[in-house]
């Protein structure tokens, strides 16, 4: 019985755990910056904050793609025993999180380009413009970015609540195994 | 006799107008004037939406050409109301005091393919600099088209708030695409 035996997997790979917490950190930073920077007065600090926010978004997008590839090639441990509706909710929630991890940064990227701003990763690496400058397009993608980011924040909140419920109410291994890893 | 002289004068005047071939430049005809600034490593190109100009251009006598362009500084559009308010402030364009920037050619040197080097005086925010701009000339259905790009130092024209030092580059790239209509 090897640790790779798919029928006997109870923990995540080290890479999966590391990517989970890295992405979690960057998403929270991105959300926090996104909410504060829009209320800032015009200043170099605000401009910098917008740039950092974009870099965080590109980082999330890249890490999310890596996570998706890793997830598709490394079987995660099965869910702990729970009712069917909870299984569906868990799988649906995880699918939604993966989708939003990719879509929220992408809508931000498109929104930035539509306002005439190229995204230059870390101020060094110019990324391709996905759309040309267009006021109406910018307004649409701005709305889409904010709405989807809000959906992401709510989904994360539910994800955290579910994890805490498993840990404190059901007293199962769900949360604990996100702090353990196999090689 | 007097009648003949009058007609002669009219003919000369008409001929003179035809020779000068003054081309009017307006945004409506598809002309564009933009400024590109680099802030935190990101280049942002924004248009001036109001300007007028007059170019006298004769392909047979390029050296005799003259060019005048006046740009409405308050028409600069970042695409964001807050940034537009910022750039109109005293430390930047001060467009209330200096509503127009102007380029007036002083000499034109013919270059290849009907193009030329336009030397002239650029006035922005009350300060004057002599610049030389290479201009490409081409023909389109709308008329004669003049394209060019030149760099200026915004600080040389007293443009910029020290607060933004290190955030917004000093170099500004001005691009123009002027369609000469009748």
Q: Which residue of B has its CA nearest to A125?
A: B41
The domain that holds B165 is classified in CATH as 2.40.128.110
Q: How confident is the model at residue B113 (pLDDT cuts 50, 70, 90)?
A: confident
Taking the CA of residue B134 and the nearest CA in chain A, the distance in Å comes to 26
Expressed as residue numbers, the domain containing B153 is: 23-180
How far is the first Cα of chain A from the last one, in angstroms, to the nearest whole number?
A: 15
Inter-chain CB proximity B45 and A42 less than 8 Å: no
Quick one: pLDDT band at residue A75, thresholds 50, 70, 90? Answer: confident
What is the per-residue pLDDT for B19?
46
User: What's the CA gap between A42 and B92, in Å, rounded?
Assistant: 14
Residues of chain A contacting residue B166, judged by C-beta atoms under 8 Å apart: 44
Are the C-beta atoms of A127 and A120 separated by less than 8 Å?
yes
CA distances from B144 to B21, B65, B111, B113 (A): 11, 13, 16, 13
> By mean pLDDT, which of A3-7, A27-31, A32-36, A126-130 is the weakest?
A3-7
Nearest CA in chain A to B45: A116
Q: Which two tokens stand for residue B152?
A: 């200026």
Residue A2: the pLDDT is 45
The tokens for A131 are 């759309």
Nearest residue to A54 via CA among A125, A108, A115:
A108
Beta bridge partners of B140: B143
Cα A152 vs. chain centroid, distance in angstroms?
8
What whole-number distance in Å separates Cα of residue A17 and Cα of residue A178?
Answer: 6
Rounded to two decimals, the ipTM of the complex is 0.75
Compute the half-sphere exposure of residue A6: CA atoms within 13 Å on the CB side of its CA. 3
Q: Does residue A118 surpass a pLDDT of 60?
A: yes
Indicate the pairing of strand B100-110 with strand B66-72: antiparallel
B164 inside domain: yes
List the structure tokens of B162: 């020290």
Cross-chain CB nearest to B164 (options A44, A116, A117): A44
On chain B, the residues whose CB falls within 8 A of the CB of A44 are 163-164, 166-167
- Domain with A109 in it: 6-179
**B164: nearest CA partner in chain A:** A44
CB spacing of B42 vs A117 below 8 angstroms: yes
Higher pLDDT, B22 or B63: B63
Higher pLDDT, A33 or B25: A33
A1 located within any domain = no
Chain A residues touching B167 at Cβ < 8 A:
44, 47-48
* Selection from B86, B105, B106, B75 nearest residue B159 by Cα: B86
Mean pLDDT of B65-73: 95
Q: Are B143 and B178 in contact (CB under 8 A)?
A: no
Cα dist from B77 to A32, A121, B134, B164, whole Å: 29, 25, 26, 19
Residue B2 lies in a domain: no
Indicate the residue of A48, A116, A124 with minimum beta-carbon distance to B79: A116
Q: Is the Cβ–Cβ distance between B178 and B20 less than 8 Å?
A: no
A80 in any annotated domain: yes
Q: Which residues of B touch A138 (CB under 8 A)?
A: 79
B133, B176 Cβ separation under 8 angstroms: no
Strand partners of residue A156: none
Cβ within 8 Å, pair B44-A47: no
Q: What is the mean pLDDT of residues A168-174?
A: 90
What DSSP line would sit under B24-37, residue for residue? Answer: EE-GGGT-EEEEEE
The phi and psi torsions of B131 (rounded to 5 degrees) equal -130, 160
Q: What CATH number did the domain enclosing A162 receive?
A: 1.20.950
Has residue B9 been placed in a domain?
no
Residue B15 included in any domain: no
Average pLDDT score over residue span A141-151: 98
Structure tokens at A26: 């960057």
- B167 at interface of A, judged by CB pairs closer than 8 A: yes
DSSP helix/strand/coil, A147: helix
Residue A123's closest CA among B44, B169, B168, B40? B40
pTM of the complete model: 0.83
Question: How far is the CA of B92 from the CAs of B81, B96, B102, B125, in angstroms?
Answer: 15, 11, 17, 9
Arithmetic mean of pLDDT, B57-70 = 90
- Report the domain count for chain A: 1
DSSP β-bridge partners for residue A121 = A125
For position B84, what pLDDT does the model report?
93
Q: Which of A64, A67, A46 is nearest to A56 (CA)?
A: A64
Q: How many domains does chain B have?
A: 1
How do residues B92-105 score in pLDDT, each as one tens digit?
999 999 999 999 99
Q: Which residues on A lie below 8 Å from B163 (Cβ)? A: 43-44
Look at residue A32 in the predicted model and tell me its pLDDT.
Answer: 97
Q: Return d(Cα A124, Cα A38) in angstroms, integer.
A: 24
* B47 domain-assigned: yes
């Amino acid at each position: 019985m090897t640790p790779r035996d798919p029928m006997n997997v109870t923990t995540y790979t080290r890479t999966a755990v590391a990517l989970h917490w890295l992405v979690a950190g960057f998403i929270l930073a991105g959300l926090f910056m996104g909410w504060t920077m829009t209320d800032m007065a015009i200043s170099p600090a605000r401009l910098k904050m917008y740039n950092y926010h974009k870099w965080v978004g590109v980082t999330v997008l890249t890490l999310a793609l890596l996570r998706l590839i890793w997830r598709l090639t490394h079987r995660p441990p099965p869910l702990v025993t729970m009712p069917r509706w909870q299984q569906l909710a868990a799988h649906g929630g995880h699918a939604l999180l993966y989708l939003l991890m990719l879509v929220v940064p992408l809508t931000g990227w498109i929104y930035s380009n539509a306002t005439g701003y190229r995204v230059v990763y870390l101020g060094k690496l110019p990324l391709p413009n996905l759309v040309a400058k267009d006021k109406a397009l910018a307004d649409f993608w701005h709305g889409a970015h904010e709405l989807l980011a809000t959906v992401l924040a709510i989904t994360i909140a539910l994800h955290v609540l579910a994890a805490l419920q498993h840990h404190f109410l059901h007293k199962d291994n769900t949360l604990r195994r996100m702090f353990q890893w196999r090689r | 006799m007097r009648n003949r002289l009058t007609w002669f004068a009219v003919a000369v005047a008409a001929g003179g107008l035809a020779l000068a071939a003054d081309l009017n430049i307006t945004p409506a005809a598809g002309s564009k004037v933009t400024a590109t600034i680099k802030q935190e490593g990101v280049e942002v190109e924004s248009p001036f939406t109001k300007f007028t100009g007059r170019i006298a251009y004769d392909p047979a006598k390029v050296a005799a050409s003259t060019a005048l362009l006046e740009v409405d500084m308050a028409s600069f559009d970042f695409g964001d109301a807050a940034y537009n308010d910022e750039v109109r402030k005293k430390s930047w364009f001060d467009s209330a005091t200096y509503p127009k920037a102007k380029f007036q050619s002083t000499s034109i040197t013919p270059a290849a393919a009907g193009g030329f080097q336009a030397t002239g005086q650029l006035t922005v925010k009350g300060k004057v600099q002599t610049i030389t701009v290479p201009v490409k000339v081409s023909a389109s259905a709308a008329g004669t088209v003049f394209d060019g790009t030149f760099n200026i130092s915004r600080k040389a024209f007293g443009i910029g708030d020290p607060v933004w030092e290190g955030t917004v580059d000093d170099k500004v790239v001005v691009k123009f695409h002027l369609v000469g209509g009748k």
